[in-house]
Structures are given as structure tokens and as C-alpha cells.
């Protein structure tokens, strides 16, 4: 039996508030309303982070339901990859969830990012669309053919082989398959070995079954939960030991596949935003390994749990500015290479004092020892 993947946010999007009528392009008024509703831009401190990086040169693979590259906020941002579902695309139901996630990652807004529209976390990055599942409500879901078997695993490998520095997976196990699969786990490890950073939504049934969700639970994947405007964990966000971090995931404005906008809740949005933050890091510090990118994201959080980690918050709420600073500290040169000057300037004034004092004491002790030795030798007649 083939495995069906259920996008973690698509139900919320399907019942979300649509901003503007379906049309080839959204009006300027509607696009300005959409931009005004993007509260996550401030919560993640993106305007400050963009002084360092906007994601240029990074490809983020969006493994989802497909992306509508004709949306005005995604013009020039989308690379169309394969459809691995084995199901013909319905002209009326295609790419709703994937378009939404792509806009959160690399949306360019209107008029060179300045006026209205959805602005993604990494507006200079590219998204590689790989269709691995269908939107909720798509009648084709019941007609999935064998061609869709292991679509996610195949999609991960395709993305890793086609230059994706980050792989975003805002989806989870469906049809009762919540235990994961060997092909998917192997694909995850393959992608990491190729240098890709993998991000996934933690799941949306935290208020009920709170099931372990894959691909988020695979080792090496950055699993993301959702918080509201108060930076409090949303009730629907899964609470599991595998949760890495949390990010905005309620009342999130996204691009709609019909050319307008929609508002929804879910850990899908949170995961897409963190994938964008990972793209900022990959652009600014391309030599960092997937492990160090993840470490920077976790070290750069705020509202951190008292014991360092909790099933609800993970390591805390993602902060793009703090993440980039942590990445700068982790971006050390390989052994044997000369370190850039900035690596000698990272110690704080409070840490330099003890180090200097210790060196002075050490030099004084060595000098005293030399003097004592010389005196002893003179007494014995040794020169």
C-alpha cells in the first residue's frame, strides 16, 4: 500500500480567511493588507537580519503540493521540479499549500520588496518545487497510483541531487502511517551527507493525539512547533522530545494558489519560516555544515526553556538576528588554516581579563622558577 502524506497546515488554509477575490493578480490594496498582516517579520526580527543576509544564492526545496510560480509575489523565485505523486494535476486544485509555504520562504512582495504582498524570510533565495503530495480536498487523493510510492523519499533525494541547500517539508504522515519508513530515513541521511539542511513541521494534533510525526522525528531534521503573537506555544502544536525550535504559526498570511492571499494556522507555516532562516545562514556562511546550521538556529533562540529544552518549546523561539550571530561564531576555519581577524575578536571584555591575568601569573611563575634555579647553580659552583 502506498503511503499518503497529509500537509500539516492545509486544513487550516482551506478554512482560512481569503483576502481578495480569485484573480490573476492581487490588487495593490489587498497586497498592502497582506503585508500589514505579516506579524512574523517583526517577531523574527527580519528587518535587522536582512542587513546581513537575504538568502541570495541559496536554493530551498519545497517538498509539498506544488507551487504556483505565476503568483505576483513569487515572480522569478520558483524552479519547477518533478511531480512525484503519480497523479495527474487537477487544474482547479493544485499547489494551494505548496504556494503558501513557498511565499513564506522566498516571497518577493511587490515592487522590489518595497510595497505590499507577502515577503518571505529569504526574499533573495530560490525555491525548488517538488510535488510529493496532494492538497486536502483534492478528489485525486483517492486515485493515488503506485507512482506515488515513497514520493517523499524520492523528493528528498532529488532535492539533494539538484543543489538544494535547504529542504522544507511542511507535511506529515497520513493514512495511519505514523511510524516513519526506512526509505525516508535513508533519504534524510543521504541529503544531510550532501550538505542539505532539512526542516519539517512537528505536527498539528498537539491538543489531541499528539502523535509522533514524520519526517520531523527523523534524526537530523529540524522539527518546528508553532507559537502565537504572544510567543506562547499554540494549542495544536505537537509536544515531543524531537521538537527543535518553535516559530510563528498562527494567523499567518500567505500567498494563495489563485493569485491572492489566505490566512491560516499550523506548524507548516512555522517550519517554512525556519527553513527561510536556514537559507539566511547558508547564504551568509556557506561553509557551515548542516549540523552547525541547526546548532546556530537552536543557540540563537530566545524565550529558552529553563533546562535548555522542552517538548513544547524545543530550544526556544527562533530569532533570525541571534541565529546569524551564532552562525558567525560557529563559522571557524578548518584546522591548519589562518583564522580571519574576526575570530580573534569574539571574546567579551569580561572574558579577556581572566585570560590576561592568568598569562601574567604564568609568566611570573616561570620567571621566579628560572631565578631560583640559577641561584642554586651558583651556590654549587655551576655556571
Where in the sequence numbering do the catalytic residues fall?
64, 97, 268
Q: What is the largest CA-CA distance in the chain?
A: 103
Find the distance separating the first CA and the last CA of the chain, reported in whole Å: 90
Residue 314, burial from CB neighbour count under 10 angstroms (0-12, 13-18, 19+): buried
Q: At what angle do helices 320-330 and 290-299 cross, to 10 degrees?
A: 130
CA atoms within 13 A on the CB side of 130: 29
Q: How far is CA 137 from CA 2, 29, 133, in A?
A: 19, 30, 12
Q: How far is CA 244 from CA 57, 239, 296, 312, 314, in A?
A: 26, 11, 12, 9, 5
Total length of the chain: 383
C-alpha cell at 12: 487550516
Distance CA 171, CA 284 (A): 28
Distance CA 355, CA 347 (A): 10
Q: Which residues pair with 6 in a beta bridge?
A: 172
Q: What is the DSSP letter of 180?
A: -
Q: Which of 327, 337, 318, 319 is nearest to 285 (CA)?
A: 327
In what side-by-side order are the strands of the sheet with 17-19?
17-19, 261-264, 252-255
Distance CA 93, CA 103 (A): 18
The 10 Å CB-count burial string (b at 16+, else e) for 55-92 is beebbbbbbbbbbbbebbbbeebbbebebbbebebeee
Q: What is the DSSP letter of 232?
A: P
Amino acid at each position: 500500500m502506498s503511503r499518503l502524506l497529509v500537509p500539516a497546515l492545509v486544513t487550516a488554509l482551506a478554512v482560512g480567511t481569503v483576502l481578495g477575490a480569485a484573480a490573476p493578480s492581487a490588487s495593490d490594496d489587498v497586497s498592502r493588507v497582506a503585508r500589514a498582516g505579516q506579524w512574523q517579520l517583526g517577531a523574527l526580527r527580519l528587518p535587522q537580519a536582512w542587513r546581513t543576509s537575504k538568502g541570495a544564492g541559496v536554493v530551498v526545496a519545497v517538498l509539498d503540493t506544488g507551487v504556483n510560480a505565476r503568483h505576483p509575489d513569487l515572480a522569478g523565485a520558483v524552479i519547477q521540479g518533478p511531480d512525484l505523486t503519480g497523479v495527474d494535476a487537477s487544474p482547479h486544485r493544485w499547489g494551494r499549500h505548496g504556494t503558501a509555504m513557498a511565499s513564506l520562504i522566498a516571497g518577493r512582495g511587490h515592487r522590489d520588496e518595497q510595497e505590499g504582498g507577502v515577503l518571505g524570510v529569504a526574499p533573495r533565495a530560490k525555491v525548488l518545487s517538488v510535488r510529493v503530495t496532494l492538497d486536502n480536498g483534492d478528489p485525486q487523493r483517492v486515485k493515488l497510483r503506485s507512482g506515488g510510492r515513497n514520493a517523499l523519499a524520492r523528493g528528498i533525494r532529488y532535492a539533494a541531487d539538484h543543489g538544494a541547500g535547504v529542504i522544507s517539508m511542511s507535511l506529515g504522515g497520513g493514512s495511519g502511517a505514523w511510524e516513519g519508513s526506512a526509505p525516508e530515513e535513508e533519504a534524510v541521511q543521504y541529503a544531510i551527507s550532501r550538505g542539505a539542511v532539512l526542516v519539517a513541521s512537528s505536527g498539528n494534533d498537539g491538543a489531541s493525539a499528539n502523535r509522533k510525526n514524520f519526517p520531523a522525528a527523523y534524526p537530523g531534521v529540524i522539527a518546528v512547533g508553532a507559537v502565537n503573537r504572544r510567543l506562547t506555544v499554540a494549542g495544536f502544536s505537537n509536544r515531543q522530545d524531537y521538537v527543535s525550535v518553535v516559530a510563528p504559526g498562527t494567523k499567518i498570511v500567505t500567498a494563495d494558489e489563485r493569485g491572492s492571499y489566505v490566512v491560516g494556522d499550523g506548524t507548516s507555516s512555522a517550519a517554512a519560516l525556519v527553513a527561510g532562516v536556514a537559507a539566511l545562514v547558508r547564504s551568509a556562511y556557506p561553509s557551515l555544515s548542516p549540523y552547525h546550521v541547526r546548532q546556530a538556529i537552536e543557540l540563537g533562540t530566545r524565550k529558552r526553556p529553563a533546562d535548555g529544552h522542552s517538548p513544547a518549546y524545543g530550544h526556544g523561539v527562533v530569532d533570525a538576528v541571534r541565529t546569524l550571530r551564532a552562525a558567525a561564531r560557529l563559522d571557524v576555519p578548518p584546522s591548519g588554516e589562518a583564522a580571519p581577524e574576526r575570530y580573534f575578536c569574539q571574546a567579551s571584555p569580561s572574558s579577556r581579563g581572566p585570560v590576561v591575568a592568568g598569562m601574567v601569573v604564568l609568566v611570573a611563575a616561570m620567571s621566579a622558577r628560572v631565578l631560583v634555579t640559577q641561584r642554586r647553580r651558583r651556590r654549587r659552583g655551576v655556571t
